[in-house]
Amino acid sequence: MRNPRTAVAASLAALFAGAGAAAFTAGGTAKAATTYAVAPYVDLSANSADMLDKAIAQGGVTSYTAAFVIGAGCTPIWGDTLGIDNSTVNPRIARAEAAGARTIISFGGAGGIELGQSCTDQTALTAAYQSVISKYKVDHIDFDIEGAAIADPVSVDRRFKAIKALEAANPGLNVSVTIPVLESGPVDSGKTFLANAAANGVRLDIVNAMVMDYGHPVADMAAAAKTAAAGTLSAARGAGLSVTYANIGLTPMIGNNDSAGEVVTQANAQDIVSWARANGIGRLAFWSVGRDQPCAGGGVSPNCSGLGGAALDFTKIFTGGAGGGGTTPPTTAPTTAPTTAPTTTPPGTGTTWVAGHWYAVGDTVTYDGVGYRCLQAHTSQVGWEPPIVPALWQRI
C-alpha cells in the first residue's frame, strides 16, 4: 500500500481491502470464508489518523485496514518506528475496536522494510508475524508487497512459507495480499509473486489490486480500475489459483494520486463501488481514511484528498453510510432484548434475524416484521440487528 508521506511517483500503484468472499487454494476450488467487504486503509501513524474515529461514528465504517507493520530485523514495528507493545497506534486501535470496528493488520507498504525482507530467519519470521496476530487478536491480516520487495524472490518465498505456517497455527485466519498493478493487471513480478503463493500451498482469501499511480495521466480512473480487476483475476488464474471476482479486491487512492494526471473523484469512486458490487468483487478499500477530507487544490497530501467536497465523502460512498452522520456501533451490548425475539435459528435465508449467526452478503432476514438484506458478511451480535447498523443491513 502506498504511503503518501514517503512515496514517489512510480509506474505501479498500491492498495486494497475486505469482503464476504471465498478463499482459494492452489489448483483447488473456492471455499467459504469470512472476510470484510469494505475495509479502507488508515495510516495509523499519520497526523490524520484520528479521522478513523469520525469514519466509524459518522461514515459507516465497521472494518478497516491498519497500516503498516514493518520490520526492524525480526522485530515488528509500526510506522512510528515503535514496537507493537508501546506504539502510538495502540490507543487508536483500541478505540476503534471499542466502537465496534474490526481490524485488519497490514504488513508492508511503500515505506520502510517489510518483515519478510528484514528478517532472514524462517522460524523467527513466522514468530514475528504470530506475535502481531496474538497481540491484536485479529483473524484478518494483509501483506502489502510492492516496489523492490515484490521483485525479491528470496524474501517472497520466505514470506509465503511463513504465511503457510501461520494458516496452520491459526484456524480461520484470513489472508490478503496487496500488489501493484497497471490498467491491464499485474506486471511480471506480480504474476511470479502469485505463482509462489500457489507453489507454497498458501491459501489466499483476497488478491488486492492497487488501482492507482499507474505512472501516466489517466482520463477515467474508474474504467482503469475495472480493466485492472479483470487483469488481476486473469493473472491469479494463470498463476494456478482457482479464483473468481469474490477473491479480488480493489483499492484506489482517493483524490489526487502521487502520479500526475491521475485523480479519483467522488463520481469515479461511486462508479468503482457500483461496478464492484455488480460483479461480486470480494473487497473494497481506499487509501486512505485520513485523506478523506477536502483541500481543494491541495496537491498530494497524507491528510487530505486535494479535492473539494466534504469530509468523509469517499467513506460514505464506499460504505453506503448516511450523509450528515451515521449510527455509531455500540461500545457495549444493549441490556434489553430485541423488540421481536428471533423465533427460528438460521442457517438459511429469509428467516428471522438472530444473534450469533454468520450472515453472507445477500442473505435476507426479517426483523420486527420488516425484511432486510445483508450488505456485508459478518457474525451478528445483539446491538447490530437491523437497521441499527446501516452498513450491514438494507431494508427491502
Write down all domains in the chain, each with its CATH number in brackets: 22-319 (3.20.20.80), 330-396 (2.10.10.20)
Distance, CA of 229 to CA of 278 (rounded, Å): 13
What is the per-residue pLDDT for 365? 85
What is the per-residue pLDDT for 385? 75
With cell 514517503, the residue in question is 6
Amino acid at 266: Q
Please report, rounded to a whole number, the percentage of residues in the chain having pLDDT higher than 70.
81
Lowest mean pLDDT among 222-226, 278-282, 339-343, 353-357: 339-343
Cβ atoms of 203 and 24 closer than 8 Å? yes
What is the per-residue pLDDT for 31? 33
What is the mean predicted confidence (pLDDT) over 362-369?
82
Q: Give the DSSP H/E element, type plus range, for residue 16.
A: none
What is the per-residue pLDDT for 283? 96
What is the per-residue pLDDT for 323? 31
Greater confidence, 333 or 346?
Answer: 346
pLDDT at 372 over 90: no
Which tens digit of pLDDT belongs to each residue from 102-159?
Answer: 999 999 999 899 999 999 999 999 999 999 999 999 999 999 999 999 999 999 999 9
What is the mean predicted confidence (pLDDT) over 77-94?
97
Q: How far is CA 117 from the centre of its chain?
A: 22
What CA–CA distances, in Å, run from 254 to 23, 90, 259, 298? 27, 26, 12, 13
Cα angle, residue 21 at apex, residues 56 and 202 outer, rounded to 5°: 110
With cell 455509531, the residue in question is 328
Distance, CA of 53 to CA of 57 (rounded, Å): 6
Distance, CA of 88 to CA of 82 (rounded, Å): 8
**Residue 143: Cβ within 10 Å count:** 28
Cβ atoms of 264 and 253 closer than 8 Å? yes
Q: How many angstroms separate the first and last alpha carbons of the chain?
A: 36
What is the mean predicted confidence (pLDDT) over 163-179?
97
Which of the four pLDDT bands, split at 50, 70 and 90, describes residue 224?
very high
Tell me which residue of 207, 172, 18 sits closest to 105, measured CA to CA. 18
What is the per-residue pLDDT for 296? 81
- Exposure string over 234-252, b if 16+ CB within 10 A, otherwise e: ebbeebebbbbbbbbbbbb
What is the per-residue pLDDT for 357? 78
What is the mean predicted confidence (pLDDT) over 187-203?
97
pLDDT at 18 over 60: no
**CA torsion, points 335, 339, 343, 344, in degrees to nearest 10?**
-80
User: How confident is the prediction for the chain on average, in pLDDT?
Assistant: 84
Cβ atoms of 45 and 89 closer than 8 Å? yes
What is the mean predicted confidence (pLDDT) over 360-376?
81
What is the per-residue pLDDT for 23? 43
What is the per-residue pLDDT for 333? 30
- The reported pTM is 0.76
Distance, CA of 354 to CA of 363 (rounded, Å): 13
What is the per-residue pLDDT for 177? 98
Three-state DSSP at 380 gives coil
Which tens digit of pLDDT belongs to each residue from 315-326?
Answer: 999 999 743 222
Which of the four pLDDT bands, split at 50, 70 and 90, describes residue 368?
confident
